[in-house]
Amino acid sequence: MATFKRRFGAAILLVVFSLTVTMVFINRSPVSTQLESIGLGVSNHGLWGWGSGGQRQGDGEGGTRVVVFGDSWVGDGIEEGLEGKGKGKSWPDVVYDKLKCTSYLNFAASQPSSAFPPAGVIVSNEILKSAVAGSNSSSSTNHISETNLLPDLKSQIQSFINEATPSPTPAKTIFIISVGFWDIYNYAGLDLESAQKATDAAVNELFDQLDTLYSYYSRTVSSDNTTTHSPPFNIVVPKIMDPSLVPGWLSHRPTPPEPSNIAEHQRNAIPLTLRWNYQVEVKLKGWGQTNVTFPNKPPAELKGTPETPISNNNDPPSKEHMTVGKAVFYYDLAQYLIDIVIEHQLQDEGTTDAAGLGASYTIFEDIDRPCLRETEDEDDDAEDLVQVNGHWMCKYPKEYLFWDAFNIGSVANAGIGKHVADMVKHGRSLAGWA
């Protein structure tokens, strides 16, 4: 029976995956045809629930700083007893290495993989609470832990702003923001109308926080720059993966009370993910083209005085004013992972598709189950697993696409990090200031 349930669950997963792939291709906008880039992050501000990433400060003047905000998809946290066991680096950490950066700040937060119900960082905890309160009686919210919410995007950005300005000031900063995955995970349990409104509100809030971060960066760089143009505001944002496609959707998501069910949540997750990605993509392109001019001020005048931009692209710069451009990197993380899964499936079938997928070698032996899990599957080979801190863990993590129920493993993270680093290095942005 356990084997049947697992195979039935896998069948559902593949059906949903096929629908998502189809809808992705149908709904590709002109912006999507461009080469896109992404970035994600983590923090070292407290216990596991707040974040557990690294903080590295450069020694000399100049250099490149990486600052990360968001969820577990960009987290550096590792559970006790699992250090050095195969989780590997987050992809923002790979970007840090590939671009030879000099400092690294990670504010992303996450929970232990065994936390129940599962929770992750979202754009706004207030939007989530409001959506739950306003949803109709058919909504199912037992998958949402309102009492155990993690620091949202606004909280993380404010923590960064409240920190002392680094000295010496980095010559270049790459900001990485990863949110949306857990927003859709939560909103998929609401009635569709409430879920759509909450998704739209979260996207708008994301751009409000981008404005806050951009304004802070612009005021900071204008305070110690004597030229009319500063280093651009570099921002990396990923296209999110449909949360119903990860192993934890079936293994960890609480079963909703009737009349709701997991299948209904899956049906909501697909259009909500597409809605999120489309809106973010379109808004990012427009947002990246609106550069503003700030007054050049010495640090003493700047401190504690949030400055209002004095123009919006059109006024010519002067020695007293500085134009702060934007370089927006939007990476299609979802398509990267979908291609890995399709490649694996086609190889199993011994065939290829029109795009050539199926012809290459894939190192992944398992794309459905995570390396780290709470229980042993009936079909598992005991020789391939070891027990660590109450978990079952695979002996060969690099052969698994997923590290745990909700997060990808070291090989996939390394590939994403390399792609993003190449995009940033060569200036392949949606808005041309890189």
Q: What is the pLDDT of residues 130-158, one digit of tens each?
A: 999 888 756 677 777 766 789 999 999 99
Tokens standing for residue 192: 């569709």
Checking if the pLDDT of 267 tops 80, the result is: yes
What is residue 5's predicted lDDT score, i.e. its pLDDT? 40
Question: Averaging pLDDT over each range in 207-221, 339-353, 383-397, 419-433, which range is the top one?
Answer: 207-221
Binned at pLDDT 50, 70 and 90, residue 418 comes out as very high
149 is a domain residue: yes
At residue 170, the pLDDT reads 85
Residue 275 belongs to some domain of the structure: yes
**10 is a domain residue:** no
The residue ranges of DSSP E strands in 286-347, in sequence order, are 292-295, 321-324, 326-331
pLDDT bin (cut points 50, 70, 90) of residue 129 is: very high
Distant-in-sequence, close-in-space partners of 267: CB < 8 Å, separation ≥ 6 = none
Mean pLDDT of the chain: 77
Number of domains in the chain: 1
Going across the sheet that includes 366-370, the strands are: 366-370, 400-404, 407-408
Q: Is residue 298 scored above 50 in pLDDT? A: no
Q: What pLDDT shows up at residue 223?
A: 61
User: Is there a domain that residue 198 lies in?
Assistant: yes
Q: 241 falls in which pLDDT band (50, 70, 90)? A: very high
Amino acid 78: pLDDT: 74
| Low-confidence winner among 294-308, 356-370, 418-432 (lowest mean pLDDT) | 294-308
- pLDDT at position 321, please? 61
In a domain, 308, yes or no: yes
On whether the CB atoms of residues 228 and 235 are closer than 8 A, the answer is: no
Pair of tokens at residue 171:
């010559």
**pLDDT value at 51 more than 60:** no
This prediction's pTM: 0.81
| Residue 216, pLDDT above cutoff 60 | yes
Q: Is 83 exposed, middle or buried (0-12, 13-18, 19+ CB in 10 A)?
A: exposed
The CB-side HSE value for 105 (13 A sphere, CA atoms) comes to 21
Angle at 369 between CA 363 and CA 370, to 5 degrees: 85
The pLDDT of residue 182: 97
Q: pLDDT by residue (tens digit) across 325-337?
A: 899 999 999 999 9
How far apart are alpha carbons 87 and 82 in whole angstroms? Answer: 8
Residue 261 in this model has a pLDDT that exceeds 50: yes
Question: Is residue 300's pLDDT more than 60?
Answer: no
Cα 165 to Cα 111: distance, rounded to the nearest angstrom: 29
Closest by CA to 53, choosing from 93, 26, 94, is: 93
177 assigned to some structural domain: yes
**Residue 154 lies in domain:** 29-240+254-344+408-425
Q: Residue 100 CA to chain centroid, in angstroms?
A: 22
Question: Quick check: is 370 in a domain?
Answer: no
Q: Is residue 96 part of a domain?
A: yes
Largest CA distance in the chain: 74
